[in-house]
Amino acid sequence: MSEQGDAILSTDRDFVDLALAEVAGVMPGARLLARLDEAGWDSAVLLYAFPDTFWELAARWHAHPPIFIRHLNPVQASRPLPEGPNAVHALRATALDELAELMDPTLPFSIQTRILTDVDYGAYDVNNALSQALEATTGAPLDVRNPQQVLSVVIARYQGKVTGFLGLSPAAYNLSDWAGGKRRFAREKGQISRAEFKLLEALEVFGVPLPSRGVALDLGAAPGGWTRILRQKEQYVTAVDPAGLDPRLEADPDVRHKQMTAEEYLAGEPDQFDLIVNDMRMDARDSARLMVAYAPQLYRDGRALMTLKLPEENRENVIDHTFNILREAYEIVGARQLFHNRSEITVYLKRGR
């Protein structure tokens, strides 16, 4: 059985230092016990012991999400696992013996399994065995699409042994509905660029309200991935970029392409918008200054989404400086290092009053 405050946190491998700083900032006595991810894994998975309960940290981050921690779950039980299919049986027994009594039988649940080391069974095998056993034992309904409680299972090599870590929590306390924060979207036939996933994830994570037939401004739009997503959301789009757009967008009567720089467009007394988006490849501070200059072009209840490209060094100072610039004209509603971000974070803004 694990300590009361044990938890597993996930973050991008390139931002571990900033994730560790986030934990230390809200819970100074937290101890990093181990990194559970192995070479080739695309996320860093951190096993922590907290001086207080997992729930204190989870509640705080539920109200004010961190930037760099994508996902967290408690560890309420752990055990070394035997080899072969007996490992799944052992996980099933642990779930029934130590976690079934914690489940609310009236709430839908799901199992989320991550396997971080080489074993001869898969996540589906674990999910299937545990969900059947817990559904039969507790009466709680299985709902993998909209669970209200999640049993998280992480299988990793710890202290030289393949170990299973299990924890039950409200889905809302895990920061992400997706195991490890890995939000994946299906590639569409008409997709223009991978960058579309960034906007889709941002709209979902931040819950950005888009008005019916609203007007949006896409800065640095080419080749048009974000413009395509905004058109799917029934927004009229002004796309600003000196480069060309995808021919399908150029032919769309509800897309107005301004083939110029963002600075040139701003100088020409542009329209006002419900939403401004910015995924331009420029220094984060310069991009923030540009967004501040564009703030008067937002309606009073307008919103903005932008990515901040971060350098390899001095990133905390760059973020702090950039946020201070943005606060001249905006309220920073949220900032996250999303699964589809790379060396960047996404920031959600509301025009300041």
Catalytic residue flag (residue 309): yes
Give the burial string for 275-300 (b: 16+ CB within 10 Å, else e).
Answer: bbbbbbeeebbebbbbbbebbebbee
Do 142 and 135 touch, CB atoms closer than 8 A? Answer: yes
Alpha helices, H only, the chain = 16-26, 54-63, 86-94, 123-138, 195-206, 225-232, 247-250, 262-267, 284-294, 315-326
Selecting among 161, 182, 309, 350, the annotated active-site residue is 309
The pLDDT of residue 183 is: 92
Residues of the chain within CATH 3.40.50.150 domain(s) are: 195-351
The pLDDT of residue 3 is: 46
Residues of the chain within CATH 3.30.2130.30 domain(s) are: 7-181
What are the pLDDT tens digits along the chain (353 aa)? 444 469 999 999 999 999 999 999 999 999 999 999 997 788 999 999 998 788 989 999 999 999 999 999 999 999 999 998 899 999 999 999 999 999 999 999 999 999 999 999 999 999 999 999 999 999 999 999 999 999 999 999 999 999 999 999 999 999 999 999 999 998 888 889 999 999 999 999 999 999 999 999 999 999 999 999 999 999 999 999 999 999 999 999 999 999 999 999 999 988 999 999 999 999 999 999 999 999 999 999 999 999 999 999 999 999 999 999 999 999 999 999 999 999 999 999 999 77
The set of residues, in sequence order, having a beta carbon less than 8 Å from that of 236 and lying 6+ positions away, is 213, 214, 215, 216, 254, 255, 256
Do 73 and 152 touch, CB atoms closer than 8 A? Answer: yes
CATH fold of 7-181 reads VC0802-like (3.30.2130)
- For the 195-351 domain, the top CATH level (class) is alpha beta
pTM of the model: 0.93
Do 11 and 68 touch, CB atoms closer than 8 A? Answer: yes
The pLDDT of residue 337 is: 97
The pLDDT of residue 5 is: 65
Over its C-alpha atoms, the chain yields an Rg (Å, rounded) of 22
